[in-house]
Amino acid sequence: MKIPLAIASTVLLGGVLTACGGSDGGSGGSGGSGSDYCKDIKAAAATFGSLDSGDTASVGDAFTTFHKLADEAPGDVKAEWKTLDGAIKTVEDGLADAGIKIEDFDKLASGQLPDGVDQAKLAGLVTTFQKLSSAEFEKASKAIETHAKSVCKVDLNSATG
């Protein structure tokens, strides 16, 4: 596998998490804009936005935040969050299986292959990352984004969240 492909995958992941930050919409419990879910989405918007700027150091935090939001998603976007969270979990598992740690992203971005990385499995991550651009993933992302904007009053596509 070529290192630029690994870099592209990392950039794609950042873009997807930002989109999913945009896909974080919804509200916890009753669905009101004052819920913990809505507060957490607003706070998460900055984390996901930093990924869009190429800040790979926050990928681990973004994964954790993503899983938390999926866990606390209200019923009207729970299925969509399950779709997104499942895809992100698949990516995390694929990275771990290839021997890539979050802290390795900067090395990959600079063209260095970290020690212990299984190059064949790294190459296989392309298929894993493609799941993040599937029609099902996109549909779920848009539904969550719309819900975030209408219920939580959070525009996850804006720089300010």
pLDDT at 25 > cutoff 60: no
Q: CA angle, corner 79, sides to 78 and 84, nearest 5?
A: 95
DSSP 28: S
Q: Could you tell me the pTM of the whole model?
A: 0.71
3, 113 Cβ separation under 8 angstroms: yes
Q: What 3-state class would DSSP assign to 83?
A: helix
Residues ≥6 apart with Cβ < 8 Å to 29? 35, 36, 37, 74
pLDDT digits (tens, 9 = 90+) for 80-130: 999 988 888 888 888 888 888 878 877 777 777 888 888 888 878 877 777
Nearest C-alpha neighbor of 91 from the set 41, 58, 131: 131
pLDDT-above-70 percentage for the chain = 68
* Alpha-carbon span 84 to 111, nearest angstrom: 29
pLDDT digits (tens, 9 = 90+) for 35-54: 788 898 888 877 666 665 66
pLDDT at 2 > cutoff 90: no
* Alpha-carbon span 24 to 147, nearest angstrom: 8
Terminal-to-terminal C-alpha distance of the chain: 36
**Buried b / exposed e along 121-147 (16+ C-beta atoms within 10 A):** bbeebeebbebbeeeebeebbebbbbb
